[in-house]
C-alpha cells in the first residue's frame, strides 16, 4: 500500500553497528547455552556455527545508478504523442530515468525474506523547493493485483505521463523466450531502445509491496514475503522530477536485507529466546544487513 505516514526501516542501526561482531558474540552465547549438549574441542556448536555463517551475508549497490534524461524524442521516435502533462511540466522541470542496480549475496543455500530500500534526493539541501522529487516509481503497489497473478508485466507511459501496466504481448514473447527488452538496462540501452516510453517488460518477485507516495524527495520501498536469492535481479526505478535550476543532484541510498526468524527452526528459536536482550532482539528482527551508497552529480552526463 502507499503509506500516508513515513515508512522507515524495521530495525534501526547506528552508523557504527558491527554486524559480524554482533553475530560472533551471539554465536558464542549460543555455544555457551548449548555446550553441554556436546560441543567440540573448540567449544563451538552447530547452532552457534549457523550464526557465525550468517556473517558471510553481503549486498551492495552498483558503483553508479543508470541515469537517462527523458525528452520529447523518447516518445516521437516511437511514433507516440508527447504526453500533455510532460510538455507542461518540462517548462520548469527536467525528468530523469534512474535505475538502481543492487546485488544480494545471502549465505550459501540461504535467502533473504524482506528488503527495505530508501533513496533520497539532495538530502540536506538548503533550498528545499529545489530538491528533486520522485515522479514515478517501480516497483509500485498499484500493480499488486496483476503481480499476484504473474511476476512479469508490460509497462508503458500513458497519455497522462504515468506508468501503466498490462499483461500484453511482450510478456507473452518473453515467456516464449523471444527476448524482448527488459526494464533494468543501462542508460545507453534505454536511449537506443526507447523503452522509457515503453512498452517494456518489468519483472519483480511476488512480494507484498509497500512504498512512500510519489511526489516526495525520497522513496522508501518494503518488499516482504518473497525469497530473494543471489541470482535475483531486482529492478528499482525512479523517474525523477528535477527543477531546471536545481544544479547538481546528489542521491543517498540505504538498503537493509533480512531473513525471517521463524525460518531458523523451532530448536534454534528456543535457544535464541534465552540470549541477552541485545542479541535476541537483533536475531528476532531478522539479523538485518545494512548497505549504504552516495552518488554525487548523477545527472552530469545524462
Whole-number pLDDT of residue 177:
54
What is the spatial distance between Cα 258 and Cα 286, in angstroms, rounded to a whole number?
5
Whole-number pLDDT of residue 39:
47
* Cis peptide upstream of residue 266 (ω within 30 degrees of 0): no
Core vs surface per residue 236-261: b (16+ CB within 10 A) or e: bbbbbbbeeebeebbbbbbbbbbbbb
| Stated pTM of the model | 0.88
Residues 102, 61 contacting (CB under 8 angstroms): yes
pLDDT by residue for the chain (302 residues), tens only, comes to 445 456 899 999 888 899 999 999 999 999 988 765 454 556 788 888 889 999 999 999 999 999 999 999 999 988 899 999 999 999 999 999 999 999 999 887 788 999 999 999 999 888 888 999 999 999 999 988 887 777 778 889 999 999 998 866 655 555 555 454 566 666 666 666 667 887 888 888 778 899 999 999 999 999 998 778 766 778 899 999 999 988 889 999 999 999 888 777 788 888 899 999 999 999 999 999 999 999 999 988 77
Residue-wise pLDDT for 108-146, tens only, equals: 778 899 999 999 999 988 888 899 999 999 999 998 888
Amino acid at each position: 500500500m502507499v503509506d500516508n505516514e513515513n515508512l522507515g526501516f524495521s530495525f534501526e542501526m547506528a552508523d557504527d553497528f558491527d554486524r559480524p561482531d554482533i553475530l560472533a558474540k551471539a554465536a558464542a552465547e549460543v555455544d555457551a547455552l548449548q555446550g553441554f549438549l556436546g560441543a567440540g574441542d573448540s567449544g563451538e556448536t552447530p547452532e552457534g556455527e549457523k550464526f557465525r555463517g550468517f556473517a558471510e551475508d553481503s549486498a551492495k549497490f552498483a558503483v553508479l545508478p543508470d541515469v537517462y534524461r527523458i525528452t520529447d524524442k523518447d516518445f516521437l521516435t516511437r511514433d507516440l504523442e508527447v504526453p500533455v502533462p510532460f510538455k507542461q511540466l518540462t517548462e520548469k522541470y527536467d525528468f530523469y530515468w534512474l535505475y538502481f542496480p543492487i546485488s544480494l549475496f545471502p549465505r550459501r543455500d540461504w535467502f533473504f525474506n524482506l528488503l527495505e530500500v530508501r533513496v533520497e534526493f539532495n538530502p540536506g539541501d538548503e533550498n528545499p523547493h529545489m530538491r528533486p522529487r520522485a515522479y514515478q516509481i517501480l516497483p509500485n503497489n498499484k500493480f499488486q493485483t496483476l503481480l499476484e497473478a504473474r511476476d512479469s508485466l508490460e509497462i508503458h507511459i500513458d497519455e497522462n505521463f504515468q506508468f501503466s501496466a498490462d499483461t500484453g504481448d511482450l510478456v507473452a514473447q518473453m515467456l516464449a523466450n523471444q527476448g524482448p527488452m527488459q526494464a533494468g538496462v543501462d542508460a545507453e540501452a534505454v536511449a537506443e531502445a526507447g523503452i522509457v516510453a515503453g512498452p517494456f517488460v518489468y519483472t519483480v518477485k511476488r512480494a507484498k509491496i509497500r512504498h512512500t507516495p510519489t511526489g516526495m524527495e525520497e522513496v522508501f520501498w518494503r518488499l516482504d514475503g518473497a525469497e530473494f536469492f543471489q541470482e535475483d535481479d531486482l529492478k528499482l526505478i525512479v523517474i525523477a522530477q528535477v527543477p531546471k535550476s536545481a544544479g547538481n543532484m546528489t542521491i543517498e541510498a540505504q538498503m537493509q536485507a533480512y531473513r525471517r526468524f521463524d525460518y531458523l527452526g523451532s530448536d534454534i528459536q528456543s535457544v535464541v529466546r534465552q540470549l541477552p536482550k541485545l542479541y535476541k532482539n537483533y536475531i528476532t528482527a531478522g539479523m538485518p544487513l545494512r548497505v549504504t551508497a552516495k552518488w554525487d552529480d548523477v545527472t552530469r552526463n545524462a
